[in-house]
Each structure stands twice: as C-alpha cells, then as structure tokens.
A and B are shown apart, each in its own frame.
Chain A
Amino acid sequence: MTDTSHISRAPRTSSLLTEDARTKKRNAAEARFKIYGIVAIAIGLLFLLVLLTTIISRGTGAFQQTFVTLNVELQESRLDKSGARDIEQIKKVSTFGYNPLLADALSQSIVDNGFETEITKSKALRQLLSTGAIGQLRAYVIANPDQIGQTVEFNFMASSRVDGYLKGRVTRESLARDKNLSPAHLDLVDQMLAAGMIEKRFNADFILGADASSNRPEQAGMGVSMIGSLFMMLVVLLLSVPIGVATSIYLEEFAPKNKFTDLIEVNISNLAAVPSIVFGILGLAFFIQFSGGVLGIQSMKASAPLVGGLVLTLMTLPTIIISTRAALKAVPPSIRDAALGVGASKMQAVFHHVLPLAMPGILTGTIIGLAQALGETAPLLLIGMVGFIASNYPDSIMSGLTDPNSAMPAQIFEWAKRSDPAFYERAWGGIIILLVFLMTMNIIAIILRRRFERRW
C-alpha cells in the first residue's frame, strides 16, 4: 500500500495497433485455451466414432442370416403311419422324429445336384441346418396335414457356424478342432452356394422373433423382449407422468415454503442420484417378496413386466419431477399475475395458463426419463428378467403385463453371456436396435422442444 505510487512503469510504447508483451501473453493464453477445448471435443468425437464404428461393424451382421432352400419329402411312413391324417396322431411325432426327414432331404439334394462330399453320416449332414429346422417342419405339418406325402420347398436357417462362414467369422482353420462343423462341411457349403441353395439375406426374425436356446443362436430375436420393454414403458408412462406432474405442480405452485417441503425437495433431488440397482433391490423386497409373497398379489411375480415397470417408475419419478418443476419455474410470474388479476382462481391460473405453457418442457423431461428407463438393465437383473425368458409372445395386454418377459437391454446382457460366439454378434445387433429406439425418443424430445418451447 505504501509505495505503490513509486512503482516505475516502462514507458508505454504500445498502441492499440501493436501488441505489447502482456497482451501477447493474454492472447496466447486464450489461444491455448481454445486449443484445449478443441482437443477435448476431438477426443470426445473420437470415442464416439470408435464406439459407433465398433457397434455398427460388429452388429450389422446380426441383421443378416444365411438361409438354405431345401425340398423336403414329408414321408407318410414317418409322420402318419396310419394314414388317417388324425391331427392328434400327427402331434405324437415329436420334433426329433423329423430329423431323418431333414437328413434324407439333404442327401437327396446332394445326389440331385451332383455335389461331392465326404460327409455321409446323417447327423453330420444335419449340422448344416439350424436345429430349429425340425420345429419349423413340425409346425408346418401340423398346420397343413394334407401336405403329408408331398415334397415341399422349405427355407431353413443355416446353423450358426455356416452362417458365420458366410459372414467371415468362421474359417477352415478355426473349425479344425470344432465338433459342430468340419472343413468338409464348408466344401459342401461352397458347392451349395454356387448352386444357389444357400443365400444370405435380411433376417426380419432378428427384430421380430423370440429368444432361442443356447444351441440355436441363429434363431434368436429381439421381438419378445421388445414387447416386454414396451409394456414396461407403458407402466412407467401411466404411473410416473400423473404422479410426477401432480407432485411438481403441488410443490411448485401450491405448497407452502417451509422446512417440511424443503426436506421433500432435497430428498427428490437425492433420489434422482440413487444408483438404479438400489431400486432393483427395493423392487425385489417390496413388490415381489412383500406384495407378491406376503400380501399374495399373484401378478406381482418375478420376471413380470408389471414389476419391472413399477421398479423403473420409482427410478424415473425423480427425473420427471425435477424437469417438470424446472418447466413450471420457467413460466414467468407475469402470466400467473395476469390470470389472478382478471379474477381467475389459483387453480384456474395454473391449469389454464401455466401448465399449457410448461407442457413442452414437461414432455421433453418425460421422454428423456423414459429413454433412461428403457436403457436400464441393473434393476432388472434382480427381479428375474435375465435368462432364457423372452420365448413366448404375450396373447393379451394382461398377459403382456404379467407373463414372464425380458427387456431389450437385459436380453443383450443375456446374449453377451452365452457361450456360442454367434450370440455375441446378436448382442451387438441388439445394441443397434436399442440405440435406434433411444435416438428416436431423443429426437422426438428435441423436435417437441424446438417447435413448442417459448422463450420469454
């Protein structure tokens, strides 16, 4: 303080047109900061790029599937010995009884087309086809018993190893010690490919189909778990929007500001930060063990989308409440004052004026909350939605809510765990489907915000 006035300054030689040392330093700092920012963005973009290319390069294969066209003679001697075409008798032939038909059809096509192969065993021949083929055959025969004795053209899925060969995942070297397929099979596949019997094409069943067991990854699809996810989202939407919006309106517009409401507010903010697995434990303890077990409510059971939806509701509520309150706060007080000024009641002011103006914000928050819930896996692990579950299509809304089902992210998790590498490809494909859903929801949220949001 004492001798600041005596600090000698260098004579000012600079003008606005020439930079002095200090300005240079400050300008350099600014330039450096800009570079840091660009580098940070570049790193972020790089990660995004790596992520997207990995997902797309690994996952797109799942949308394609190798099919084998085969003429199968539906031998009467094996399917309907009596010849009476009695559906009950035909049903007695289990899927395993259809295996010889496939083997015969394959060896017949080898003879007809003049293929050369050293494979003679019927069991080894069948390894070209998915084990699901026998189920497909049986279902066809039961639906069309009049076709028994005829030769019918079928489109069967190829086995996962053959499929992997056409996709470049399986090579002759990798099959050296494999017991599911041998290099000799691949020679045959090459000939069938040349003859046009084998074809790789788009596989709608991957998007629409049900989960399949561990020995037929080629047949597994996301369809049923997608339905499970949709039912859970329905529950979340129906419960969390009314509850969340009502809570926010009351807290924001009507509630007195006191310690108690402060406490509630703090708790809601804290709940938003609670890890989702905690809600899973809560769901297991409260919904399944207490409501389902102690109270005996039968539809509250493990693996039911209803329970999954309730758990996700708990998780989504804080997000919706917080975004709704922000949207309500953004409506300027002048709107309320004007409404009250012309004699509207508090409730009329809120419902006729404030709420419509806050609606775009509320919708955006809701959609983002739903998207978050859609991608959530952790709580579902605890309430039994992971495993071989998504194999039955629900036949009504009620069964959609209560029948065991999985969800898209849980299905992806399950596939990633299974031993056949073909499931791994499906897991990546599933991620693409899930990402498409999430992006669609986010885009809808952005459009809503752009079109309807008002700024004051």
Chain B
Amino acid sequence: MKVAIASGKGGTGKTTVATNLAKVAAAEGCTAAYLDCDVEEPNGRLFLKPTVDKQRSIDKLLPAVDLGRCTFCGRCSQACRYGAIACVGKQVLVFAELCHSCGGCTLACPVDAIREVPKSIGELLLGMAGPIRFVEGRLNVGEAMSPPAIRAVKSSTHHAPRDDLRHTECDQYNEADLTIFDCPPGTSCPVIESVRGSDLVLLVTEPTPFGLNDLQLAVEMVRTLKLPLAVVLNRCDIGDDRVRRYCAGQRIPILAEIPDDRAVAEAYCRGQLASDAAPSFAGRIRSLLGRILKGAA
C-alpha cells in the first residue's frame, strides 16, 4: 500500500508522522519503505538516520546542438513553448533553467542536429534505516523545477538504471506492505507529482485558521486527482474545532488526533523519532497504522 503524507500548510508534522509511521510499521513486522519526496528540503534522513549505500545523480535532459550540422533555421526555438532555446544568428542558446525536457526541439530539428544530454539537477540517495528501505531525492540549490527529481525518487529502486527519467510508477515497491511518500508542503506541481499514484493521501493539519485554510486547499487538490484521502489532526488541543467540523461536513475521516506534547517537540528538535521518546505518541501512531491497513483491506 502506498500512502502519501501531505499538507497544504508547512510544519504541521508531515515528516514526524511519515518517519514514525515507517518505524512503527517496521516494528510491527510490516515491510516498509520511506521515500522522501520533499526534494527541496528533505528532512526524513535526519530522523531515520539510514545508512546510505548508493548515491547517484538525478538528471534532466537538455538539448545539445551540433553546430556543424545546424542550419540555423530556428525551428527549434519556434517549437519550444518555454523560450528555452533560441537561435540567434550563427548561435543556438539553451537556457537550462527554462527547459522542461519535453523533447520538442529535438523532434522539430529537420537535420538531426539536436541531441539530448543529461544534466545533473540533484542527487538520489538509497539505503536502509534498519529494516526500512530509504530513498531521498535532493534538489541542487538554485534548481527551480522539482517535479523531475520527485519522479526520480518515485521510480527509483536499488537497481534502477541511470537516466531513467520517464515516470515508471513505483511497482518495484509493491512488495512492501507500506510505502510512504513524504511530500512537500503546498498544493502545486511538486505536491501533485508526489501524491500521484498513491492509494491514500493522508493530510496532516492542525486545528488553527491557517491549518484549516490550507487543509481545504489540499482537499480540493486531492479530490481533483480523485485519490482517497484522510486527515491526521496534529497538536489537536491547541486551537478550536473548526477543522473537525469541516472534516465531518465533508465526510473526511480523521484517522488520528495527536495532542501537543513537549516531549514530542523536544525529540523533534534533536532529530530523534518521537515514537522512541514518547510512548503515548508511539501508541497513537500504531493505532493510525492499524486504521490505514484496515482501510486498505
């Protein structure tokens, strides 16, 4: 089962829920995989502390023009919707940060002067955190587009071929009882790329006005993608009951309510798994796991 842990608002506890869920699942005898899809700011590694045994480049394809063959006809720049390739006099300029690697320029070139070459935009880290399979994508600072890196995380295995940029779903992980996608905050393209293909989207929120507003946006996004969804209410005792009322009205199940707990916050500060530091928290995550797996069955 593939569970995406997401939220509209940042800092609601996605990584806390995701890492502890992986840990508790493994302790309960499930095979678990944790995929850090928050490639702009990946934090799961700080808590799961995996041994990384493979590291490889995440590449995106960029056009490379053979100026010997090029006739400077300009069809490539006409074809490009992103303004990423420009034919200026006897020169062809490629603007890497604008390129979406769609291949349009290569197809448009009448003399086959354009080849696509990989350019590194980040790194993929593969390893084990005890029994938990661990994958992290890490976008290079200055790179604007995270979806290709997220695709690389989700299509990765320990044996995946290099340069496999085409999204190939994550069938390789089907044998894991629980595969967790730890998603970035927000509701735009990186989040959509992260939750795509999951069996359940778990939205972590808190009972505050910001939490509610961003939850509503995230719910709309998940419903547009037609994916099943449920809510985890974190720091459930800090605000009011507007989030609960909203969920009830929308028939969205709240699978766990986690009280604000200094022990959990302190463990988080230090980079310690809260389920190791606070037994009551571990209990709540176990019951969350039970409800996720029961829902799947």
Are A and B bound to each other? no
Seen from chain B, the residues whose Cβ lies within 8 Å of a Cβ on chain A are none
